[in-house]
Structure 1
Amino acid sequence: MANSRFEYVKLFERENFLLPETHIVIRVDGRGFHKLSAKYSFAKPNDLGALELMNRTAQKLMDQMPDISLAYGDSDEYSFLLRKGCGLFERREAKLITTFASTFTAYYQFYWPQYMKQPLEEDRLPTFDARAVVYPSEPTVRDYFAWRQVDCHINNLYNTTFWSLVEGGMTPKEAENELIGTLAADKNEILFQRFGINYNNEPALYKKGTVLIRGPIFEDADGQRDKSKRQQERQEKKMKKRPIVERHIDIIGASFWDGEKEEKKQESKEEVAGEKL
């Protein structure tokens, strides 16, 4: 940029650099999706096409961002975990969240015709915003993703029961009043006794959301620093080539995370063996 007497205005710009050696999670959320889902007649309580569109969009974003090791999504939101040693955009918060939100929005609109029946209209285009949060340790990251999956379960059980009551003849207000103060066991009983629905048999995609993995989930940041530049570049190329695996499983318990740790150990052994060769 050429120097001029107006360049002083740059002094007003401020950057927020996210803390190094922390785990960055970026959560992308749909803006005004309650009205958008009504506009385009999303199926209730779950629209399979809309969920598959979200998953396709998240996978494309992961293709563009090899620093993402894990993603979890349900409804109109997706959370992306970046490698602890991620240096993308020098960890500048504004660049990260605007890039994630705009890229997610672009892919969502691009793939819309492949999954949704109604064409998009200018007066109601789907858009997303994003936020970035840093977490200090692996346990807090695990708790974060457990929190999102618990939220998915609670919302889906409520919505499944609510829309079953509406389809059964109640008005939305009557169904809302019927569910005030009910626990999970009460909602399961309503579904089974009144509508013959065993909630346990509902698709895992609806109950558990979607997990996208391009492991290992947690990297050894100290080990990354000890690697040569050539070794780091080789690992980045390897990450780009790794397939993204889609699962609809429980990530609240320890079994998922323990399994990923074992896979990481095996990969480390193979990497060491490869270096010796």
Structure 2
Amino acid sequence: MKFDDLDKQMRVYETNSDVCILPKVYMVARIDGRNFTTLTKQKHNFEAPFDIRFRDMMIETVKHLMNVGFNVVYGYTESDEISLLFSHDETVFNRKTRKYNSILAGEASAKFSLLLNDLAAFDCRISQLPTKEDVVDYFRWRNEDAFRNALNAHCYWMLRKDGFSAKEATQTLEGKSVADKNELLFSYGINFNDLPNWQKRGIGIYWKTYQKKGINPITKEIKFSERRKLHIDMELEMKDAYNNFINSFLLKQSI
């Protein structure tokens, strides 16, 4: 059999189950760390419940993912997860989900591993969201998840530092309301509202444009050109204000 014929025959096994996201459907990728509890709490002993070094590694990983060839308009990270909102008219790889999943998981794993100087792995899945409202709801969901996780994590680790075992700390928090958890923290002298917003709301990363000053080497005239760079936002809003913030990215889309 000629190579071209063999190649055509075998390619079918790679591509016959390809799923391509339909045009005019919004795409959001969620990239999650695999076994990060073991990696960060046992192998590398990051500070619990939040560690600035880990936070900065996640930020750098998001920035990397926003520069690997996809048109990402908004990145978001909380804990060991990343969410990426693609441009509505993104067409790279004909919108094949296997390409997005494999490339983003691989790039995130490689970047974080280099930053950590150890092996780290991420998985990836693509959410197909038909409306702008669904996109807003998705990011509202992750934003509120960050709040819930932060409250639980601070309570859990205060109990652990107070001598509670992992089982005892978990059982103590079971069934407690948000108010109860706030009271628990307050009994240790911590006002949850005063904690850094990046811990409670996650971190947003998005493009901002700026004017770069230059000089024409021939005429010596001062010229300004438009450039863009990634902005790190550690003071995200919550609830309806965050909805409006996400909507601002959607309004810039081509439709």
Query: What TM-score do you get using the length of structure 1 for normalisation?
Result: 0.77
User: CA shift at 1:242, angstroms?
Assistant: 1.8
1:211-244 superposed Cα distances (whole Å, 9 cap, x missing partner): 111279xxxxxxxxxxxxxxxxxxxxx7xx4211
Q: Which of 205, 208, 211 is the equivalent residue of 2:204?
A: 211
User: CA shift at 1:252, angstroms?
Assistant: 4.2
Is the 8 Å Cα contact of residues 74 and 152 (structure 1) preserved in structure 2?
yes
> What is the identity percentage for the equivalent residue pairs of Structure 1 and Structure 2?
28
Where in structure 2 are the equivalents of 1:1-150 lying within 5 Å?
2-5=3-6, 7-13=8-14, 14=16, 15-37=18-40, 38-65=42-69, 67-112=71-116, 119-120=117-118, 125-150=119-144
Q: Distance in 1 between matches of 2:82 and 2:230?
A: 15
User: CA shift at 1:137, angstroms?
Assistant: 1.0
SS in structure 1 at match of 2:176: coil
Aligned Cα RMSD in Å? Answer: 2.5
Indicate the residue corresponding to 1:230 in structure 2: none
Where in structure 2 are the equivalents of 1:144-223 lying within 5 Å?
144-193=138-187, 195-214=188-207
Rate the CA distance shift 1:45–1:262 in 2: closer, same or farther, 3 A: closer
Q: Distance in 2 between matches of 1:154 and 1:257?
A: 18
Indicate the residue corresponding to 1:245 in structure 2: 231
Rate the CA distance shift 1:134–1:171 in 2: closer, same or farther, 3 A: same
Rate the CA distance shift 1:91–1:215 in 2: closer, same or farther, 3 A: farther
9-18 or 22-31: bigger deviation: 9-18
Is the 8 Å Cα contact of residues 201 and 238 (structure 2) preserved in structure 1?
no
167-176 or 130-139: bigger deviation: 167-176
Rate the CA distance shift 1:3–1:242 in 2: closer, same or farther, 3 A: same
User: CA shift at 1:75, angstroms?
Assistant: 0.9
Q: Give 1:20's aligned amino acid.
A: P
Indicate the residue corresponding to 1:229 in structure 2: none
SS in structure 2 at match of 1:42: coil
Query: What TM-score do you get using the length of structure 2 for normalisation?
Result: 0.83
- Quick check: which one's helix share is greater? 1
SS in structure 1 at match of 2:107: helix
1:105-159 superposed Cα distances (whole Å, 9 cap, x missing partner): 11112222xxxxxx52xxxx21111001110111110100010111111111011
Is the 8 Å Cα contact of residues 76 and 83 (structure 2) preserved in structure 1?
yes
What is the number of equivalent residue pairs in this alignment? Answer: 233
